[in-house]
Structure 1
Amino acid sequence: MKPIRTFNVVPSLPGPLEGLRRLAYNLRWSWNHDTIELFRRLDRELWEEVGHNPVLLLGRIDQARLEAAAADAGFLAHLERALADLERYLSGELTWFTRAGGRRQGTLVAYFSAEFGLTESISVFAGGLGILAGDHLKSASDLGVPLVGVGLLYQQGYFRQYLNEAGWQQERYEDNDFHTLPLTLERGPDGKPLAVEVAYPGRAVRAQVWRVQIGRVPLYLLDANLEVNRPEDRDLTDQLYGGDPEMRLKQEILLGVGGYRALEALGLNPNPPVYHLNEGHAAFVALERIRRLMRSEDLSFAEAREAASAGLVFTTHTPVPAGHDHFPPELLGRYLGEYARELGLSLEGLLALGRKNPADGRETFGMTTLALKLAAHSNGVSRLHGQVTRRTWRELWPGVPEEEIPIGHVTNGVHFQSWISLEMNQLYERYLGPSWREEPADRALWQGVYSIPDEELWRTHERRRERLVAFTRRRLQGQLSRRGASEAELEAARGVLDPEALTIGFARRFTGYKRATLILSDPQRLARLLNDPAHPVQLIFAGKAHPRDEEGKRLVQRVAELARQPAFARRLVFLEDYDMAVARALVQGADVWLNTPRRPLEASGTSGMKAMANGALNLSTLDGWWDEAWQGADPDEPIGWAIGRGEDYPDPALQDRLEAEALYGLLEQDVVPAFYERPGGLPRRWLARMKASIATLAPRYNTHRVVREYTQRCYLVGAERFRALAETGWGRARALAAWKERLQAAWPQVRVEAVKADLEGDLRVGQALDVWAWVSLGPLTPEEVRVEVYLGRLDPGGELAQAGATAMRPVEAKGPGRHLFQAEAVPCQMSGLHGLTVRVLPQHPDLPVPFLPGLIAWAGPESVAQQTSG
């Protein structure tokens, strides 16, 4: 039965408690232990029952309890303290951003992502990508960076996981009730819900805009589940990563085009804007930005592209091909054919932007390709991932050495306040001082970890392990009860795990390359390890497989099956429905954090960072963040353990066998003995590793450092470039586009005709040489190019490796379009067989990088033979 009218009923709070509503609707409570405790005081059981959702808590709590709280002087004092703390936080003018010289006016950053992991009660995320996005927004708030988030508000979000009797993953979707979440529906001046329209074939789709307040940072989420839309369009914001490619394309159009229009409707698109695309899902925002600039500023596509690109930042998070969305040309034509015409492009012209090879009419349209072509700054999320990404996308920059391809890296981090336990929080405050929360990237500050008494650190960590064991028992009993388990099975679940045993945590998405079952490779050896009466070990697993990932589901089933066997029943547990609450319990209580991805397929990984900040030690293959963390640590102060040495294997089966053997060896010979070696009743060697791990890694692997890095390297630079291109009626943007057009036409005439170097016999390290090059530039001037000597050692294949570039200067014109360039005193810094060559690159003051696709000219073998002075 459909209602004839709808209305919302809000909690009836006694006057003295009205401040609870303000606290509930700002997600800063989610990383403020004092405010969390305030809500828990109202009703501890209900707080757990509502999934840590304060809005739902206030809506479902018994009115008598509210009246009692309103008359409780202690509770009211606690409420007043929490409100005062929030007000101080929000009104703070002297933030890191302002101290760093940032200008809040005109430097708005719009951060687009398909998912955001904020709290377990707002289910609009699937995994690490969303958690990273949520942590990014929280740190931006803490640092005062003027940033807004943009995403989609999913009616069902991501699936809830449960296992059937056979241990096979099942998916269950639950509707989100937006009116019982900390969400606010944005409204226009007329009081009606604010909505935007996006064109789809034969109709317009409307989406309304909700806001989640995350400290100082608003997150705007689009909701297409409106009665004015067709049923299939209402499903646009139904499920995250659900549906077929057509649904994914429709969602990504709504995210990029609709998200941009939502910011306009909200009045949040001042110039100069900076747009940060968190993965390729949001790449259509770049096209919408270009379209709007064309219309509002009367620019051509090429001119608007230069302006828009200046403020575009793109972060890619996966080296796995399946993680990059591609769409068939005919599907893109159906949905964006008219849009291409609005951009002044043919359909083929639009498709070319998303193809590695624009001339290949059969190639699909790639969202990552589109983002890489349009963004002024692109990066991976760890040092190793940056290398892998440059190798993966090198076709976009033919002729450019792989190490110079303009894709950098900003290694991920985590928002410590969201993940560190209350007990560790208090310990850090006691020995590091309160400033550790505001300055988690301060290396000197973290040296205070070494002053924490061993007894105190160990006692704190043991309490967290005990809580993890209790949490796991409760969770396991719930799983079994829902499955109709017997009383005997429930009783057995109450006794699983040992609060004093070495506890290893493994929690992440279950998919082939993450190798969740590597530690299960030899069940008999594992059983002996886990059941050693003197030195017991226990394993807690959690994680979801994508609904269409059959291999991932088989991995889940393998863990679940083993957990039921008598040899493992008390020592190995699989926790269903991995979410932020499970993740928090695991990273706060585990002794060892296990990570076994197949190198180099882990872009970063952040769960180990969360565990590290809580005192757990990482045991991982050298992939993602752990590769650079391990390589950068002091070998005299061990911070954990590395499985292997970062080898690359052509045979995956061989890699699995060797790395499983290495893992078992580390556990048997090093990890377990160190944990149970207790001189004076304390594991001194273990505690030394814990302190070294925290002191070494915590200053780097936090999102405060990440957001600072993006701000200084990308946001502020992008904003200034956008301002510069907008000067004098977009004169510089127009000039840059015209110059590039002329450059493209002239480049076929650019070549290095001859190269001469003053080489006579061997050189000694530290000696230098002079180099001359005769270069034909056609209609270009020497000021429009950068001519460089490219010199370095040769690898066994005769290719230049460890090479560097030295600029050459024009010294003489040699006729029409022909010029002599010289480099003096080019140094040779290393011994060994060397080589050199000369290259020509475009040069312009408004180019963010000198590498334009296809525009690089190298000296060929014939250049050496023509060492003439003519």
Structure 2
Amino acid sequence: AGGLGVLAGDHTKSASDLAIGFRGISLFYREGYFQQAINNENWQTEYYTLLNPRNLALEPVLGPNGEPLVCSVEIAMSTVYFQAWRVNVGRSPVYLIDSNRPENEQRFRDLTLRVYGGDSTTRIMQEILLGIGGVRLLRALGDEPSVFHMNEGHAAFLVFELVREKMAAGKSFEDALAETKQECIFTTHTPVEAGHDRFSFDLMNYALMKMQSQLNLTSSQLMALGRVIPDNESEPFCMTVLALKGSRFANGVSELHGQVSRHMWHALYPGVPVEQVPIGHITNGIHLLGWMKGPVRRYWRRKLSQDPQNQPGASGDTTRFWHAESKNDWENEINNPEFWKKMADPSFISDEEIWALRYRLRRELVEFTRRRLLLQGSRHFQGDFISYDQLLNVDALTIGFARRFATYKRAPLIFQQFENIVRLVHDRERPIQFVFAGKAHPRDDEGKRFIQHIIHLSKYSELKGSLVFIENYDIHVARQMVSGCDVWLNNPRRPLEASGTSGEKTACHGSLNLSILDGWWREGYDGTNGFAIGDDSNPESIEEQDRIDSANLYKTLTEEVIPTFFNRDKQGIPRQWIQRIRRAMVTLAPVYNTSRMVKEYTTKYYLPTSSRK
């Protein structure tokens, strides 16, 4: 639903690109994540669309008899049956578990109805399906993975299933757990407390009673596996704790997040200095080809092609390249640092070419936004459609903000300087404008208020026409925005942004980041390849941090971003701005991608100790 799901998809694509033996396991939510609609009060509402597997790029997983392969898990006193769907992501299959089987009670069929549906009871049952059911599905398929990668704590119950298998073969619990630990690695993705699933004693005792019996554990012993302090009877069961206790390696998703995680879970390792807590880091990336907008793909393909006959034809001809032999393996070259180093060379790509590409992408975003706003507005009133042609300015500095509307991401922060921002927007010589998008969690009313506030400003304030909110944020909207915006704004409350990946999608399009030094940007920023809001520190007080960051954001915007963008030579080219674009391409695109990330996981964690260099 958020960045973690998209990241998992990019991880799978790069595993395929690199020909790594990889299997993905998730749940098939037949109503998926919600579709967003904004009502007359500018409030987010949610609706759901039933997904028919026949209309999707799925195929049923079949058994030897040609019928759907059916497996089961035990939840409380019931046996819950499930089937699976296979998605082929290149060479990497992803299996989606589906409990919508006629043998099941309706409450169990609905475990795979919606993302984030239901309460803690639904949640623990979904995680039993994912963790325990995932292992059983792989066994039924005849797969024997050498390593199980728990991507966040949701799948941590797989530890119980692996231990159960070994105990069934005659191992003691202690030996089975020790062996299981050598099979598992764990990635934590959030420093936000609410992001770590916790379950009460009663719920654990209810949902996992049969597993507890098979592991030959008492209720207290089972709970201890998910507690920081094992004998603290008031402490709930934490999935992250189970994952940490059941893994040979653990990591955060950026350098700073690794530090935060070591502090967060220090109590799990008594007597160990905090800097030696065994949680490392691998910084997240994005799948470059997957996030490139079509015109940009064709642009770089042409640049990489040494044979003029391999250059794409007229607009809309996206197949000509594939009908000729290319002298370059462009899909691999696009991840090659040597290719991106060429961006510093004006003889390879001129300032004029870069600026023409940027103008085209910004114009396409403006036109896309106008069409989307026209559709949004037509649901509520029949207005003058011509007026939508006045929204946004193709020549203005365009600032984008799109992500989950979690409150710590502080979407409205820039508007704390409202009167100053209004002056900047109405500066005819150096105009700026804003494009926002994003969804709040269905039960996050504070996040919904942020959305409401921004839409209200876009309709009823002096920012009207220069501030827009695109509803129903999805991958398509994201690709339009990361390509078309000149500046990608990110202002989370540090250090709560574990990594963030939206800003990593901008470099290949020639966009620049304006961000708090949190997550990946703390590592990526070098002073020449974008803009930083503040320094590499943050006050403890939330109020003080918000005040300082608001001031620093406005200062960087007015003293660095706007002057650099509008400093044009006689040809109308912003040479200093383009130099930053070149630096972003050279330093960010070849590093903050999932090709590098998956290679790093493989060499550091996936391979056995004896095979790692």
Which residue matches 1:253?
128
Which residue matches 2:496?
601
Structure 1 residue 207 corresponds to structure 2 residue 102:
no
Which residue matches 1:776?
none
Distance in 1 between residues matched to 2:572 and 2:116, nearest whole Å: 50
Which residue matches 2:465?
570
> Quick check: 2:77–2:210 contact (8 Å CA) kept in 1?
no
Larger gyration radius, structure 1 or structure 2? 1
Which residue matches 1:326?
198
> Quick check: 2:76–2:209 contact (8 Å CA) kept in 1?
no
- Match among 252, 257, 263 for residue 380 of structure 1: 252
Distance in 2 between residues matched to 1:575 and 1:191, nearest whole Å: 45
SS at match of 1:437: helix
Which residue matches 1:675?
565
Structure 1 residue 653 corresponds to structure 2 residue 543:
yes
Which residue matches 2:165?
292
Aligned residues: 586
Which residue matches 1:460?
357
Which residue matches 2:153?
280
- Match among 281, 290, 302 for residue 174 of structure 2: 302
- Match among 112, 116, 119 for residue 237 of structure 1: 112
Measure how far apart 1:673 and its partner are.
Answer: 1.5
Which residue matches 2:20?
145
Distance in 1 between residues matched to 2:334 and 2:161, nearest whole Å: 37
Residues 399-418 of structure 1, C-alpha deviations (whole Å, 9 max, x = no match): 11111110000000000001
> Quick check: 1:424–1:614 contact (8 Å CA) kept in 2?
yes
Q: Aligned letter for 1:668?
A: T
Which residue matches 2:602?
711
Q: Aligned letter for 2:124?
A: L
SS at match of 2:398: strand
Task: Compare 448-457 and 181-190 and name the one that shifted more.
Answer: 448-457
SS at match of 2:400: strand
Measure how far apart 1:441 and its partner are.
Answer: 4.7
Structure 1 residue 485 corresponds to structure 2 residue 381:
yes
> Quick check: 1:428–1:449 contact (8 Å CA) kept in 2?
no
Which residue matches 2:287?
415
Which residue matches 2:438?
543
Distance in 1 between residues matched to 2:2 and 2:264, nearest whole Å: 23
> Quick check: 1:274–1:718 contact (8 Å CA) kept in 2?
no
- Match among 507, 510, 518 for residue 623 of structure 1: 518
> Quick check: 1:310–1:719 contact (8 Å CA) kept in 2?
no
Q: Aligned letter for 1:671?
A: V
> Quick check: 1:421–1:588 contact (8 Å CA) kept in 2?
yes
Residues 157-186 of structure 1, C-alpha deviations (whole Å, 9 max, x = no match): 111111111111111111111110010011
Which residue matches 1:98?
none
Measure how far apart 1:519 and its partner are.
Answer: 0.6
- Match among 222, 232, 235 for residue 363 of structure 1: 235
Q: Aligned letter for 1:463?
A: R
Distance in 2 between residues matched to 1:238 and 1:421, nearest whole Å: 32
Distance in 2 between residues matched to 1:352 and 1:245, nearest whole Å: 19
Distance in 1 between residues matched to 2:202 and 2:501, nearest whole Å: 38
Q: Aligned letter for 1:387?
A: Q
Measure how far apart 1:571 and its partner are.
Answer: 0.3
Q: Aligned letter for 1:664?
A: Y
> Quick check: 2:34–2:46 contact (8 Å CA) kept in 1?
yes
Write out aligned runs for 1:834-853 (5 A).
none
Which residue matches 1:49?
none
Distance in 2 between residues matched to 1:475 and 1:467, nearest whole Å: 12
Distance in 1 between residues matched to 2:74 and 2:392, nearest whole Å: 56
SS at match of 1:660: helix
Which residue matches 1:469?
366
Distance in 1 between residues matched to 2:271 and 2:244, nearest whole Å: 17
Q: Aligned letter for 2:71?
A: V
Which residue matches 1:344?
216
> Quick check: 1:128–1:605 contact (8 Å CA) kept in 2?
yes
Which residue matches 1:87?
none
Distance in 1 between residues matched to 2:517 and 2:360, nearest whole Å: 30
- Match among 337, 343, 352 for residue 443 of structure 1: 337
Measure how far apart 1:337 and its partner are.
Answer: 2.1
SS at match of 1:504: strand
Residues 568-591 of structure 1, C-alpha deviations (whole Å, 9 max, x = no match): 111000011110011010011110
- Match among 396, 404, 421 for residue 501 of structure 1: 396
| TM-score normalized with structure 1 length | 0.66
Distance in 1 between residues matched to 2:609 and 2:123, nearest whole Å: 29
Measure how far apart 1:521 and its partner are.
Answer: 0.5
Distance in 2 between residues matched to 1:168 and 1:502, nearest whole Å: 28
Measure how far apart 1:362 and its partner are.
Answer: 1.3
Write out aligned runs for 1:649-798 (5 A).
649-679=539-569, 680-717=571-608
| TM-score normalized with structure 2 length | 0.93
Q: Aligned letter for 1:310?
A: Q
Distance in 1 between residues matched to 2:484 and 2:57, nearest whole Å: 29
Measure how far apart 1:648 and its partner are.
Answer: 1.8
Q: Aligned letter for 1:424?
A: V
Q: Aligned letter for 1:529?
A: L
Q: Aligned letter for 2:165?
A: R
Distance in 1 between residues matched to 2:253 and 2:522, nearest whole Å: 12
SS at match of 1:681: coil
Which residue matches 2:11?
136
Which residue matches 1:554?
449
Which residue matches 1:107?
none
Distance in 2 between residues matched to 1:707 and 1:332, nearest whole Å: 34
SS at match of 1:174: coil
Distance in 1 between residues matched to 2:335 and 2:602, nearest whole Å: 15
SS at match of 1:603: coil
> Quick check: 1:224–1:233 contact (8 Å CA) kept in 2?
yes
Residues 68-101 of structure 1, C-alpha deviations (whole Å, 9 max, x = no match): xxxxxxxxxxxxxxxxxxxxxxxxxxxxxxxxxx
| Higher RCO by CA contacts (8 Å cutoff, separation 6 or greater) | 2
SS at match of 2:506: helix
Distance in 2 between residues matched to 1:440 and 1:329, nearest whole Å: 51
Distance in 2 between residues matched to 1:711 and 1:661, nearest whole Å: 42
Write out aligned runs for 1:626-641 (5 A).
626-630=521-525, 633=526, 635=527, 638-641=528-531
Structure 1 residue 579 corresponds to structure 2 residue 452:
no
Q: Aligned letter for 1:437?
A: E
SS at match of 1:570: coil
Flag structure 1 segments of 5+ consecutive residues without an equivalent: 1-125, 722-870
SS at match of 2:178: helix
Distance in 2 between residues matched to 1:232 and 1:189, nearest whole Å: 29
Which residue matches 1:335?
207
Which residue matches 1:399?
271
Residues 169-212 of structure 1, C-alpha deviations (whole Å, 9 max, x = no match): 11111111111001001111111111111112222111111000
Which residue matches 1:191?
66
Distance in 1 between residues matched to 2:122 and 2:365, nearest whole Å: 40
> Quick check: 2:153–2:243 contact (8 Å CA) kept in 1?
yes
Measure how far apart 1:307 and its partner are.
Answer: 1.6
Distance in 2 between residues matched to 1:402 and 1:557, nearest whole Å: 42
Distance in 2 between residues matched to 1:703 and 1:350, nearest whole Å: 36
> Quick check: 2:87–2:94 contact (8 Å CA) kept in 1?
yes
Q: Aligned letter for 1:684?
A: R
Measure how far apart 1:523 and its partner are.
Answer: 1.5
> Quick check: 2:288–2:335 contact (8 Å CA) kept in 1?
no
Runs (4 or more) in structure 1 with deviation over 3 Å come to 429-436, 439-442, 718-721
